[in-house]
Amino acid sequence: MKSSELKQKYLDFFKAKGHAVIPSAPLIPENDPTVLFTTAGMHPLVPFLLGQPHPLGKRLTDVQKCLRTDDIDEVGDKVHHTFFFMLGNWSLGDYFKKEAIEMSFEFLTKVLKLSPPHLAVTCFAGDKDAPKDDESAQAWLKQGIPKERIAFLPKKDNWWGPPGTAGPCGPDTEMFYWGSSAPPPKIFDPKNKNWVEIWNDVFIQYHKTTEGKFLPLKQKNVDTGMGLERVTALLQGFDDNYRTELFWPLIQEIEDMTGKCYDQELVSMRIIADHLRAAVFILGDERGVVPSNVGQGYILRRFIRRIIRRMKVLGVNSGSVSLTSILARKTIEMYSSEYPLLKEKKSFILEELEKEENKFKKTLEQGLKEFDKIAAQGKMISGKDAFLLFQSYGFPLEMTQELAAEKNIKVDVVGFKKEFEHHQELSRVGAEQKFKGGLSGASAETTKLHTATHILNEALRKVLKEDIKQRGSNITPERLRFDFNFERKLTEEEIGKIEAEVNRVIKEKLEVVREEMPVEKAFQSGAHGEFGAKYPSRVSVYTVGKNYSKEICMGPHVKNTVELGKFKIIQEESSAAGIRRIKAILEK
């Protein structure tokens, strides 16, 4: 079965069970200060898992573009990826464990026709925070999974979320399929690598507080996630995801380019294919970013640089030809029928890759020479030297670590970080930490700043010009950041006028009202949407005052503008050609 057929069967199955199909949210989350990328299908749905009603009801399903870097060191094996697609279905306070498990079992055995004697599951063993999950085990027994094929495991294995320090989470039950041609053993041993994890049903029924307490949620939810790449491979009889059509044409292109064979160069070719696909989807996202030294842009830069280094390992000397853009063309060709935005943004994607590649090629050669010199001096690369490679030659830390590992030497990572801070590159460190962090749900501060963003958006139209459009937004508990189309620097006077307009609206004590409506009606009513965003058929619209600002948005927002305090712009700068960026805060 092809991956596209698997996707379709998944969505059709859950549609027939009353789920609304929603589009994939962008890879780059908008108003979540705690993570850089969408890491799971549940991620864009957090407000709804916490109780906000979803315009399309209580049962949802989708195929979400996801990106995680926790597994980056694992990339190079058969099954780990940075970028991947997650099939998911959700119950927002509707069905719970029994029905979720029934549906999962039916899909696996009736639609995918996997043989029940090849299945096994794990359930949560229970601890001081939550009881043993007998309810799930009972539901599996009822489906015919024998006792010997149900393993109870602790929190480290059978608990999902919150992705950060606080937020929605709960026990999960994971499904495994016996991936070997040998007959499956009677008793399930989760440590046996032939059991391939294929699906995860999470029962989101707790809210972990920042103090580490697990409070029961009013609304009990189901959040499931199935990795498209892994299940496609399984259905096609491969134990290597890169052999499926999701990667294989790209691998062949790499083989052509290098004159080497996949079987002899597994690790490098897998890293190139994985990172290349990730880079194309980051650049080609609705909220696509360009390589830079901070945030998502820095992750993208690291991917591209790693690809180029790996190409060099494979002996390609490209001269002036851009290897990444050749591979990107292939990737766009493979994915654009399902992700047409990639085609629309093709020239942007190719140009940005080429620019970054040329930049890095200039320093790579010299950097490698410098590395060899440093490496010849001892068994450990000091923090200072790793930082020199980073700052002068653009070597991301993990590239230095990778090069060092090849020579059997270590890198002083702690020393590198110290050096980093010493050079006051705090913003980048912040971004790295943010990436490791997670979703904490909306705080009172981010909620206020979110409403302030809506008012600012409208104030810009009133003060500057009518056709201002939002081109990006990012909110942390401390400040808002807002990008919009405008050709030149704002004057002091304009900045003063914008602040005054926002503060006038705040003082007017306007109500903020949420309504649900079909997406066409929302646009007809004059609601603003985000440039290039894909919306589901029903959306929520937030209106400030009678008609001051109207935006399609997931929320959450304050009830009345008076809650916001005093609005102050702290920075105005260029963000890209024709795009300005404002940073602003709220003072008490």
Residues that bind ligand SER (CB under 6 A): 40-42, 88, 160, 200, 202, 223-225
- CB-CB contact of 475 with 582 (8 Å): no
Which stretches of 344-412 are assigned E, i.e. beta strand?
A: 380-381, 410-411
- Listed in sequence order, the residues at least 6 apart from 22 whose beta carbon sits closer than 8 Å to its beta carbon are 56, 60, 61, 62, 536
d(CA 487, CA 469): 12
H helix or E strand, kind and range, residue 473: strand 470-475
Question: Among residues 139 and 456, whose Cβ is nearest to ligand SER?
Answer: 139
Question: Among residues 63 and 332, whose Cβ is nearest to ligand SER?
Answer: 63
Minimum distance, C-beta of residue 299 to ligand SER, in the bound complex (Å): 19
Structure tokens at 251: 């691998």
H helix or E strand, kind and range, residue 250: helix 248-258
Minimum distance, C-beta of residue 156 to ligand SER, in the bound complex (Å): 14
- CB-CB contact of 272 with 242 (8 Å): no
Question: Among residues 29 and 225, whose Cβ is nearest to ligand SER?
Answer: 225
Minimum distance, C-beta of residue 305 to ligand SER, in the bound complex (Å): 28
Minimum distance, C-beta of residue 96 to ligand SER, in the bound complex (Å): 15
Question: Among residues 41 and 55, whose Cβ is nearest to ligand SER?
Answer: 41
Minimum distance, C-beta of residue 142 to ligand SER, in the bound complex (Å): 22
Question: Among residues 44 and 88, whose Cβ is nearest to ligand SER?
Answer: 88
Question: Among residues 200 and 446, whose Cβ is nearest to ligand SER?
Answer: 200
Minimum distance, C-beta of residue 109 to ligand SER, in the bound complex (Å): 20
Minimum distance, C-beta of residue 314 to ligand SER, in the bound complex (Å): 33
Helix, strand and coil content of the chain, in percent to the nearest 5, comes to 45, 20, 35
Question: Among residues 64 and 322, whose Cβ is nearest to ligand SER?
Answer: 64
d(CA 503, CA 369): 57
**3-class DSSP assignment, residue 20:** strand
Minimum distance, C-beta of residue 250 to ligand SER, in the bound complex (Å): 25
d(CA 172, CA 14): 20
Alpha helices in 28-133 (DSSP H): 46-49, 97-106
Question: Among residues 222 and 449, whose Cβ is nearest to ligand SER?
Answer: 222
- Listed in sequence order, the residues at least 6 apart from 142 whose beta carbon sits closer than 8 Å to its beta carbon are none
Rg (CA), the chain: 25
Residue sitting closest to ligand SER (CB)? 225
